[in-house]
Amino acid sequence: MSIFTEVPQAPPVAVFKLTADFREDTHQQKVNLGVGAYRTDDCLPWVLPVVKKVERLIVEDDSLNHEYLPILGLPEFRSASSKVALGDDSAAIKENRVGGVQALGGTGALRIGAEFLRRWYNGVNNTATPVYVSAPTWENHNAVFSDAGFKDIRPYHYWDAAKRGLDISGLLDDLEKAPEHSIFVLHACAHNPTGTDPNQEEWKKIAEIMKRRNLFVFFDSAYQGFASGSLDKDAWAIRYFVSEGFELFVAQSFSKNFGLYNERVGNLTVVAQDNDNLTRILSQMEKIVRTTWSNPPSQGARIVSKTLNCPELFAEWKGNVKTMADRVLLMRDQLKSKLQALGTPGTWDHITQQIGMFSFTGLNPKQVEFMIKEKHVYLMASGRINMCGVTTKNIDYIAQSIHEAVTKIQ
């Protein structure tokens, strides 16, 4: 008998299970609206032209080698990443109180930040500090903070299903009622899974309460530039909170906006009160990294670093990002128009009011099941669809399938 006989079978990760089911489906018109990755109008992955160009530069650069990087990562990558998040004219950067930790994607940045907060925030090894995540949120948020040792993970109001938009009054009320020093995970832009973001006035209200009640801000920024096509617009909330004097963390992912999904390129930006605090924070994060992955990989970080630090390549990258964002915006507009033309019951304005890669359709679990089993259109049980999976070639079929799901299944 094996010593591992008692190990239970873990349930599969939903989004990857959905993709596996899609691959096994032999239906001619099958559509995958599940996985969170960009697709061209031919439904193919896209290697950004600027990435191909930089990869060639790296191959031809004889000065590069495969020696270990510093534990906290490639310095020029970390500083450029933080500058993209906080802006060229960031006072915090000029005051030398911003640092970065290269991480294995946005998930790695979240995990290093969560591990640090459990060890050193609100007391030493305080596993009882409440951590608030939006309802709904990316499912990994709960697991990352739970696995980092936090025992009290709570939802905060976010999605108003009735009006298919932001429940700002519920969100503000939760901020008022949360215990002081609670940690709030905020989506910087293009909220996953709803695609619904606070507007600037709502962000100001959120910041006012969080400052007054001493709540910790942990931004998750996975879609900067990808949401609106503008790096600055998508970073507005982060920069506003920093301008208001918050000490905060920003988990950055370059999976979506560089198309570097399997390179695992992330950065944890730390905004501290002053350089002395920053130095001590990073010293402890170095210890966490040492026992987690010990040393980060260089390839993806070099691609991002070379792009961000060269004005010509940076401009080309911004153009590539806008190409992706514009295609998603076009598909949103066309899908809404087609559903309205079909006379599909309900309001579909939320499709164009939402932003970024995902749309929260409002389809219920039974309608989702109909979409998958009868129409071979694969989407998450929550009703979330990846707008990048919508193309000029399949949009009519998708719209008709949604129309049938809504009219046939209650």
Written as one string, the DSSP assignment of 88-109 is: TT-HHHHTT-EEEEEEEHHHHH
Q: Is the dihedral of CA 51, 54, 56, 59 positive or negative?
A: negative
Q: Is the dihedral of CA 123, 127, 132, 133 positive or negative?
A: positive
Distant-in-sequence, close-in-space partners of 252: CB < 8 Å, separation ≥ 6: 81, 84, 85, 106, 109, 221, 222, 224, 266, 267, 268, 269
Q: Which of 30, 83, 256, 338 is catalytic?
A: 256
Burial of 253-292, coded b for 16+ CB within 10 Å and e otherwise, reads bbbbbbbbbebbbbbbbbbbeeeeebeebbeebeebbeee
In whole angstroms, how far apart are CA 343 and each of 127, 192, 374? Answer: 51, 28, 21
Catalytic (active site) residue 256: yes
- Local structure of 267: helix, strand or coil: strand
Catalytic (active site) residue 220: yes
Q: Which of 30, 46, 83, 138 is catalytic?
A: 138
Rg (CA), the chain: 22
Catalytic (active site) residue 338: no
CA gap 20, 226 in Å, rounded: 26
Q: Which of 167, 174, 197, 220 is catalytic?
A: 220
Element holding 284 (H helix, E strand): helix 275-290
Instruction: Enumerate the active-site residues.
Output: 138, 220, 256
